[in-house]
Each structure stands twice: as structure tokens, then as C-alpha cells.
Chain A
Amino acid sequence: MSELAGKSVSSSATQRSGFQRWLNRNGWRKIVAGIPYFWLLLFFLAPFFIVMVIAVSEAAYSIPPFKIPFSWEALQANIATNFGYLINDSLYYTGYLNSLKIAAISTVFCLLLGYPMAYGIARSSGATRNILLLLVILPFWTSFLLRIYAWIGLLGTNGTINNVLLAIGIIDEPLQMMNTDFAVYIGIVYSYLPFMILPLYANLERLDNTLTEAAMDLGSTPARTFLDVTLPLSVPGIVAGSMLVFIPATGEYVIPVLLGTGSSPMIGRVLFDEFFLNTDWPVASAVAIVLLLLLVVPIMMFNHYQARAEGVE
């Protein structure tokens, strides 16, 4: 079948006109394939290079507020100073740890909430499915900032939730929910849930229903069927969804600033303060680079492992 198709393509290719040959030139293919690389170069590598340069510079009272080192010794000294802060000052590493913890816990909650939702959507039929998917995407039609502000109105001491709980007599005095880690978790889980649901849905929707039937036919209860078949086969969806939640949540700035406490800041807040309050661009850049490495290295290791696992199969 594929052989036949290949033959017909090659035979018709020899009869093509000059214009078609021009269109088919290899050069075009290279250009099209090159566009993403160009994009990456322009919007990721070039800024990253600038940040790298600033991270190895010396802070100065000037415009811009740093001095680029021109000797090997100065470079080494600057690296030692800027990155030394990150190790020696607890503000930075607690910031990283705090961010990773909040992102990890939020990811778990997104998964716990998102998996059943994605499963339900994948199992529903035609029209219902489209409505449910629309409901998942609907929040994006409102500004992200507005939605976070809305949570202030809900969670505040005089907010809707406290008022309702007081009115029906469950509590006697308002709960402190705003400016707590709890509020940050609520904000992150709420904001990032769609990024968990959509890749999971895409994965579960493709799952062959006869596989679960086969497992049941062979004596597995629905719960066991889920553990033996559905769950292992949805791992790629779980991984994709978790990455889409975990990575941006780690660097999240707006949600902890608006809903969280000042006492245990996430790394995004630290980065912002370093840039705009401390005006120490070199240290801020060092914070940004370490954050990037913290996120990129595990992902690259994961991809490497996954590619190898697929290669072995």
C-alpha cells in the first residue's frame, strides 16, 4: 500500500512543471523548518544571553546599573559575588524552595481535580463534550488579573465566602483566608487547572475503550481496570499537564503578590524586588538563570529518559 503510494508520487514528480519543481526545492523546506529555530534564537537565546551577561557583571550606580567585566579576574569575582548571594543569603534559597513546594503541591491538586474532570469530558458524548470543553476554556475570556482580583473579593475578611458562612452560622467570626498560603494555592490551582485538564483530555479521549472492556472481560473490576489500564496509559497526559502547571507556577509572581503573604515570598517576588526595589540587576539576573536551570534541567533529563524508553520499545 505505502509502496504503491510512494511509486505514484515519484512518477508524477518527474512529470511536474518547472514551477512545481521550484516550489518543491529543498531550500524551501529548510526555510520552513528554520522558522522555529529563528524564533527560538530571537526570543529565547538572545534575551537569555543578555541576562547571562548581566549576571556576570558588577552592580553599579549608573545607567544601566551594571558594569560588564573586561578581565578574566573581574568575571570570576562577579560570578562569585552574584551567585554567592544565592547560596549564602537564606532569602534566595528559601524563595526557591518555597516556590518549588507551592508549585508541586498545586500541581498535585490540579491533577487530583483535573483528572476526573478530563476523564468525564472524554467519556461524555458529542454535544455535552463540546459544552464542557467550552466551560474549561471560558475563564480565559476574562483577564487573568481580573480573575485574581475577584478572588480577593471572595476570600477577604468581608468577602463573599465569610459572609455566607457567617450568615448560615457555621462560623462566629470571619476566617483569615486572604494573605495566606491557602489563598495562593487557591489562586494557582484555579488559574492553572485548564492547563492540566486539556492535555489530559486529549490523552484520555484517544484511549481505546475496548481496552477497558478487555480488562473487565478478563475479570477486573472497574477500579482495577482503571489502575491496570487507564492510569498507565494516561501517563503521557499526566506528565504534559503537570509540566504545564508546575513550570509557570514555580515562577508565578502575580498570584502570590495579590493573594499571599510577604513573610515567605516565592522566587518570582524575590526576583521582582531585586530588580525594581534593590536595583541590583546582576543578582536579579543570577536568580533568573538559576530558576531557569532548576526547571530546564529536570525537563531535559525527563525528555532524554522518555526518548530512550521509546527507542528501546
Chain B
Amino acid sequence: MTADDSFIRIENVTKKFGEFVAVDNVSLDISKGELFALLGGSGCGKTTLLRMLAGFETPTSGRIIIDGQDMGDVQPFNRPVNMMFQSYALFPHMNVEKNIGYGLKHEAMSDGERKQRVSELLDLVQLGQFAARKPHQLSGGQRQRVALARALAKSPKVLLLDEPLGALDKKLREQTQFELINIQEELGVTFIVVTHDQEEAMTLASRIAIMDRGVIKQVGTPTDVYEFPTSRFTADFIGSINLFDGTVTSVKAGKARINAAKAGCTFEAPVSPGIKSGDAVGVAVRPEKISISRSRPKSTTVNAVQGEVLDLGYFGKDSLYRVKLESGELIRVNRVNDQRVEEADRQVDWDDKVWLTWDANSAIVLPEEP
């Protein structure tokens, strides 16, 4: 993406609260109509970044540019941005209709137009028959939809969503996720979602920025951040992973051999050009990329290791095996149960001696961080 088509530019933004650095020199470009997620644990600075976009916090240094306009001196009530709050922040003394219409109250438009717009929004979030209810008479999911409609009322250029599904139960959350995506696609508004839930970020977003301690660790599509993590933090944060320390022994045609003592085997994996023989690296394989079998593989030294099944978790559609290696390390292996078999006929069972193998393309090499 070139700098020209970026709709929101965050340039070297830092935010300090006293000595504490909440956001540390973050730069980010988000293009128009994107559904972008800021993902990270609590205290990683994602909410502070969102609040700076809304105008509730002022950056200590750096610039925020939205649609070509520097937001430096723009007050929250003048920004082309609306926010859906984590707690929804619905006005308890106003009914659904008034809550949704609040942003339009002081706009230059006729009463008829205002009514028309509110009823459009009520239809959009399917709350027509609840127009006269007060927020405390609504369920959590309904409140969430009122908050969404209210934030969309002024047709903002950017919609900020702070943990939009955080307060919903699992079923409702799944359903609402897709509703959110549909609404976003229908309206073409740029959505920036803050979440600590990686599944939510993966399903919702077209791109994800992973934050840790005020710094953006990686920006990319859900596939990028899951399959091609660039740091140990990202690899470990997204999904589950088996991670070992290793040393590069040779590099040949974009593939490296890595000796991982703790794993007790040699990894062969594709590497980026910067890595050379002798480098200390992390090497990782996702649990679902590993095959588990009692029979001996062709190669017993490269991308293969032997161990003993310590634990077996049966989840129905898949099973999780925890395999103890000779070094004492544990490897997690995840297999889809694609065969319908009796418990007694299981291919791999507790205390079995097993071989674990994986494809050369499945192993991820993670350079040491400076």
C-alpha cells in the first residue's frame, strides 16, 4: 500500500501517562473501507490508541491524519469519527429512538429527515419494535445494536469499536460478528476494532495489528499473522504453538537446517534472506501441522521426533495430544478426528510411543529480537 491511498495515517504517535509509555512511537496506515483490528492483551495500548483517534486523549508526540486532515487541534465533537463504547454508554434517560437520534439532534436537518434517518437505522439493526424502550429494558445484544446504530447515525468516515462483542455470550457473539461484517460491507465505512480476542479479530478483520507494550509487533491479514508470524511474540500470542530455541547450521536455497537441542531433532524450514549460518533463532510448529503416528517415518532426524503420549484431550471434532520428548519437553499436537472409531480402536492412545513429523513448509523460523 502506498502512502497516498491511506485514509487514516498514524505517524510516530507516542502517548505517555507520567512515566508510563502507553503507546510507543506507533505508525500505521489504514485505507478507506477497511475493517481493521487492533489486537493485544490488556494494557498493550490498543484502547489508548483508539481514544487518541476519537480525540479523548492527545498524543504526547506524533500526528494523526484522517482523510487528509491533521487531527491535532480537532476536538472530539468535531471529528469525522464516531465510537462504539465497550460499555455501550447508552444514555439511560433516553429511549432507543432518542439514543440513536442523539447525534443528529444538533445537525442541520429537518425533523422529517431526522425521523427518516432514525427509522432507517432502526431497520438496519432490526430494533424497530423497541424504539420506545429505555436501555435498561433491553437485552445485552439489543443494547449492543443500539450502540452500533447510534454510532452510525451521523454516517461517520470512521467507526471506532472498543471490544464491540466483549459483553455478549458466545452464541450471540458469533452471530453478531457476521452482522457487523455485513453492515460494514453494506455501508463501506472504515471500521477500527479494538479487541483482546484473537478469534474475534481473525473473523472480523481484513487486517490485524498486533500490539504489545505500546508497540505494534506485526500488521497483516489474519493468514499473515497466523501462518507467517515475524516475531516470537506474535507466534505465541496468536493460536497455540510449539516453540524451541535453535541454531542455524546451514542455509541452502532459501532453506535452513536448524539444530534445536531441546526438541532433539533438526528442523528444515524456509527462511528469509537475512538469516545466515550460526544465527540463534526460534523455531516453531503449530500443533495442527504435526502428524502423529506409531509407525516409523522415512527420516528420523529431520522434521521428525519421537516421544510418548502423556495426555490426550478428546474434544469431539478434534483431539489434543501432549507428547513428552526424550528431553522432557512437551509438544502439543492437534489432530482432526476424521475417522469414526471406537475408543478402543484409537490409532494413538495414552502412553504410546509415537513419531511426530511435519512438512518442511510448516516450520516457522523466528529471528532473535534485538
| Residues of chain B contacted by A313 (CB below 8 angstroms) | 134, 136-137
B87 proximal to A (CB < 8 A) = yes
- Cβ of B77 within 8 Å of any chain A Cβ, yes or no, is yes
In contact, A218 and B85 (Cβ under 8 angstroms): no
Q: Dominant SS at the A interface?
A: helix
Select B102's contact among A208, A215, A232, beta carbons within 8 Å.
A215
B89 lies within 8 A of A214 (CB): yes
Give the residues from 233 to 278 in chain B that come closer than 8 angstroms, CB to CB, to chain A.
none
Q: Does the CB pair B93–A219 fall under 8 Å?
A: no
Name the A residues within 8 Å of B93 (CB-CB): 232-233
- Contact of A224 with B by CB under 8 A: yes
Q: Nearest CB to that of B87 among chain A residues?
A: A210
B56 CB-CB contact with A under 8 Å = yes
Q: Is B154 an interface residue (CB 8 A)?
A: yes
Distance from A229 Cβ to chain B, minimum over Cβ atoms (Å): 6
List the B side residues contacting A220 at CB < 8 Å.
77, 106
Q: Is the C-beta of B54 less than 8 angstroms from some C-beta in chain A?
A: yes
Taking CB atoms, residues of chain A closer than 8 Å to B154 are 218-219
- CB neighbours of B92 from chain A (8 A): 211, 233
A216 at the interface (CB under 8 A from B): yes
Q: Which of A265-313 contact B (CB under 8 A)?
A: 313
Is the beta-carbon distance between B77 and A208 smaller than 8 angstroms? no
| Structural contact, B89 and A211, CB atoms closer than 8 A | yes
A313 to B90, CA, bound (A): 16
B92-112 vs A, CB cutoff 8 Å, 1 = contact: the mask equals 110000000011011100000
- Across chains A and B, the number of contacting residue pairs, with CB separation under 8 Å, is 60
**In the complex, chain B residues whose CB is within 8 Å of the CB of A173:** none
Which of B77, B85, B91, B107 is within 8 Å of A221, CB to CB?
Answer: B77
Interface flags for A185-223 (1: CB within 8 Å of B; 0: not) read 000000000000000000000001011011111111100
Nearest CB in chain A: distance from B256 CB, A: 50
Q: Verify if B37 is at the interface (C-beta below 8 Å from A).
A: no
- In the bound complex, what is the Cα–Cα distance between A229 and B93 (angstroms)? 8
Q: Does B82 contact A (CB under 8 A)?
A: yes
Complex interface: chain B residues within 8 A of A219 (CB): 77-78, 103, 106-107, 154
Minimal Cβ-Cβ distance residue in B for A233: B93
User: Could you say which of A211, A217, A229 contacts B82, with CB atoms under 8 Å apart?
Assistant: A217
The interface residues of chain A lying within 8 Å CB-to-CB of B87 are 208, 210
A25 to B183, CA, bound (A): 57
Q: Which B16-63 residues have a C-beta within 8 angstroms of A?
A: 54, 56
Q: A221-B77, A224-B106, A313-B136 are contacts. A213–B89 as well, Cβ < 8 Å?
A: yes
B76 at the A interface (CB under 8 A): yes
Determine the residue in chain A with the shortest Cβ distance to B107. A219
Q: Shortest beta-carbon distance, A2 to chain B, in Å? A: 15
B285 at the interface (CB under 8 A from A): no
Tell which of A210, A228, A233 touches B85, judged by Cβ atoms closer than 8 Å.
A210
A218 near B89 with CB under 8 A, answer no
Which chain A residue lies CB-closest to B54? Answer: A217
**How many whole Å from B95's CB to the nearest CB in chain A?**
10
Q: How far is the CB of A227 from chain B (nearest CB, A)?
A: 11
* Per-residue interface assignment for chain B, residues 209 to 247, with 1 indicating a CB less than 8 Å from any chain A CB and 0 otherwise: 000000000000000000000000000000000000000
Bound CA–CA A290/B227 (angstroms):
83
> With contacts A232-B93, A233-B92 known, is A218 near B150, CB below 8 A?
yes
Q: Which residue of A208, A213, A218, A232 has the most chain B CB atoms within 10 A of its CB atom?
A: A218
23 residue pairs bridging A and B, Cβ less than 8 Å apart: A208-B87, A210-B87, A210-B89, A211-B89, A211-B91, A213-B56, A213-B83, A214-B85, A214-B90, A214-B150, A216-B77, A217-B54, A217-B77, A218-B77, A218-B82, A218-B103, A218-B153, A219-B77, A219-B78, A221-B77, A229-B91, A233-B92, A233-B93
15 further interface pairs, Cβ-Cβ under 8 Å (given A211-B91, A219-B154) = A211-B92, A213-B85, A214-B85, A214-B89, A217-B54, A217-B76, A217-B81, A218-B102, A218-B151, A219-B103, A219-B106, A221-B77, A229-B91, A233-B93, A313-B134
Which residues of A line the B interface, CB within 8 A? 208, 210-211, 213-221, 224, 228-229, 232-233, 313
For the complex of A and B, 4 pairs with smallest distance between CB atoms: A218-B103, A214-B89, A210-B89, A216-B76
